[in-house]
Amino acid sequence: MLTTTIKLWYTYTMNILIFGGTKGIGKEISDSFRHKHKICVCGRTCSMIDGEFFKSIPCDIRYQEDINYVLTKLLISWGKIDVVINSAGVVLFRSFLKYTLENVSSLLDINIKGAFLISQNVIPIFKKQNGGRIIHLGSTRSFTVAPNKSVYAMSKFALRALNSSLNLEFNKFKIYSSMICPGKVDITGKDSRLVSPQDIIQTVEKIILLPNNTNIPEIILGGQL
């Protein structure tokens, strides 16, 4: 009699840090991944949760000390970080002449300065680990402009330049940066004409499961360029 033994297990396959993971697309990604990966979500208003497989740590990505606190805590707890997802971002749509300097500074501080600080602080960790992935959530406005979206587009163009620069400099260390650029997102997922959260989640999953010598620098989901 031939006996086949099937081994079943519950495995958390990757250690994933999500900035901007407490609401919007970041929360959708976290909710989808938290039963198959170790997840840490960060946001300015999130509560502190310190579990074995799920963590929540308050963090303002405009401040390097906040980012370093999160990274240090995770390295102590997890030993390594496989993927960093930057889903933090703000939008502000208005006529170009009606933007104030405060508006511009606030938007750029989060959309590009925050992305820069996340990348600059995680890359030394990835170099020591001999690899890692950064995924930035961009927009079709990373490629084209639109009425009343000049400063938002400016930040997303800059994010695309950051993403390209990271790949140029760090691919040789098996450190890859990807940018997912959706068109208009229907957070309910009910409008088939628009990008759904599930579209983005599936794209993130495909990226993080790529072989460790492979990268997809940019992906556009829906939208008009």
Average pLDDT over residues 90-114: 95
Q: What percent of the chain has pLDDT above 70? A: 94
What is the DSSP secondary-structure string of 46-84?
A: PPPEE-SSEEEEE--TT-HHHHHHHHHHHHHHHS---EE
Q: Decide: 82 and 208 in contact? Cβ < 8 Å.
A: yes
State how far the Cα of 215 lies from the Cα of 73, in Å rounded to an integer.
Answer: 28
Cβ neighbours of 135 (radius 10 Å): 25
The ranges assigned to domains in the chain are 15-221
Evaluate the CA torsion angle 74, 210, 176, 173 in order and state its sign. positive
Output the CA–CA distances (angstroms, integers) from residue 121 to 33, 68, 103, 124, 195, in the order listed: 24, 7, 26, 6, 31
Confidence label for 163 from pLDDT (cuts 50, 70 and 90): very high
What DSSP state is assigned to residue 195?
B
pLDDT at residue 13, rounded to an integer: 85
Q: Which residues, at least 6 apart from 134, have a Cβ–Cβ distance to it below 8 Å?
A: 83, 84, 85, 86, 118, 119, 122, 166, 175, 176, 177, 178
Q: Please calculate the CA angle 207-21-196 and round it to the nearest 5 degrees.
A: 60
Report the alpha-carbon distance of residue 133 to residue 162 in Å, rounded: 14
CB 156 within 8 A of CB 141: yes
- What's the angle, vertex CA 16, arms to CA 50 and CA 212, rounded to 5? 150
Q: Are 40 and 18 in contact (CB under 8 A)?
A: yes
- What is the band of 224 on the pLDDT scale with cuts at 50, 70, 90? low
- Whether residue 159 is predicted with pLDDT greater than 50 in this model: the reply is yes
pLDDT tens digit sequence for 74-98: 999 999 999 999 999 999 999 999 9
What is the pLDDT of the chain when averaged over all its residues? 92
Look at residue 225 in the predicted model and tell me its pLDDT.
Answer: 66
Instruction: Please identify, in words, the CATH class of the domain defined by 15-221.
Output: alpha beta
pLDDT of residue 12: 57
How far apart CA 214 and CA 217 sit, in angstroms, is 10
pLDDT-derived band at 11 (thresholds 50, 70, 90) equals: low
Q: With pLDDT > 90 as the criterion, what percentage of the chain qualifies?
A: 83
pLDDT at 52: 87
Tell whether pTM > 0.95.
no
pLDDT digits over 45-80, tens only? 888 999 989 999 999 999 999 999 999 999 999 999
